[in-house]
Amino acid sequence: MTLDNYRRLGRTGLEVFPVGFGGIPIQRLDTSRAVEVVREALKQGINFIDTARAYSDSEEKIGQALENIEKKVYIATKTPAEDKKGALEDVDLSLSKLGVSVVDIYQLHGINDRENLKNVMGSSGALAGLKQAQQDGKIDYIGITGHNDDILLEALKTGEFAVVQFCYNYIENECEEKLIDYCKQNNVGMIAMKPLAGGRLNNASAALKYVLQEPQVVPDPGMETREEVKENTSLVYDNFELTEEEKNIIANDKEQLGTQFCRRCDYCQPCPEDIPISAVLRAESFINRMPVDQVTDPEGWVRKSFVKAEECTSCRQCVERCPYDLPIPELIEENLQIMNEFLAAH
């Protein structure tokens, strides 16, 4: 594979392997296995790793995997902080955990509503912290991530962000309507989170090929085995053309999941019972991608979200607001059952 096949992350100029490495699943692995998986990714050609302060020990494991590695590897990580002080503290923590002197891309994590956006963009918000860190030479480029395309577009139009990370898969493809075109026109780097829909899509080849057909987008699937790494990276040597079987898989998944799949846009909010609906509708994703102790922790936000879901009154205000006409109360009940069965087994 030649450098001509790499993908440029917009105006950052960073040339990266067509598939990145998502850092969520290695939380579930012990350190030695996590290091093996990351190094397998590097061996197979990956030179871009995306993680976050919120992914427990992911940064630390990645840092250990990169020790004594001569190959240039670009790193993106994220801060959930809304204020300047918190963002600056997170940058320093990331540098320490990752074992690097500079982070290539530092992102505001999960900016999903206007209040959140207003807070991080304020004079003493998290963006100000990242800009200070950039001036201090601790980070090179600033990015933003989120699940709401409208909010991300609003943020990008400020001109403050060189990179954006958004949900993109063949079920969750609303970004094709406006966001991707805007990024192309304004030279914004694009990272596709959840190319396998948080584990809901079972055929990695069909899912990744779908995203890879958009030549300026870099999908970053989470991987927790060497076999997954080899399977996902092998696709980049193909022309990304979907087989008839894969096209049928996509069509079937769209039919089955299209009216059941939460896009996490949070247009359904506010809930009268303060239920974090988009979190509750991700039971399978939490179970498949997060460490068991984080899912089962009685004081953790995942467990508390599902406890809160028990208070659903089926008022259906959320259904009226949902732009995708999802049967939200029924989906809450289904996801509660999935989570309760998992908790009973653990």
| First CA to last CA distance, the chain | 45
CB 213 within 8 A of CB 235: no
Residue 256: CB atoms within 10 Å: 11
Is the confidence at residue 163, as pLDDT, over 90?
A: yes
How far is CA 97 from each of CA 56, 102, 308, rounded to the nearest angstrom? 11, 12, 34
Residue 16's DSSP bridge partners are 7
The answer on 168 and 91 residing in a single domain is yes
Domain count, the chain: 2
d(CA 41, CA 22): 11
The answer on 302 and 193 residing in a single domain is no
259 in any annotated domain: no
Helix (H) or strand (E) holding 163: strand 163-167
Bridge pairing between strands 217-219 and 163-167: unpaired
The answer on 36 and 117 residing in a single domain is yes
d(CA 145, CA 161): 10
pLDDT-derived band at 198 (thresholds 50, 70, 90) equals confident
114 in any annotated domain: yes
The answer on 127 and 221 residing in a single domain is yes
pTM: 0.91
For 297, phi then psi, to 5°, come to: -60, 115
User: What b-and-e string marks burial along 80-113, b requiring 16 or more CB atoms within 10 Å of the CB?
Assistant: ebbbbebbbebbeebbebbebeebbbbbbbbbbb
CB 194 within 8 A of CB 172: yes
Token pair, residue 156, equals 């990008």
d(CA 196, CA 51): 17
Is the confidence at residue 55, as pLDDT, over 60?
A: yes
* Of 234, 222, 236, 308, the residue nearest 269 (C-alpha): 308
242 in any annotated domain: yes
pLDDT single digits (tens) 61-76? 999 999 999 999 999 9
pLDDT single digits (tens) 238-282? 778 899 999 999 999 998 887 788 988 898 999 999 999 999 999
d(CA 268, CA 157): 25
287 in any annotated domain: yes
Which residue range forms the structural domain that includes residue 107?
A: 3-246
pLDDT (0 to 100) of residue 4: 59
Q: Map tokens 């190319």 to a residue.
A: 195
* Of 305, 306, 291, 293, the residue nearest 341 (C-alpha): 306
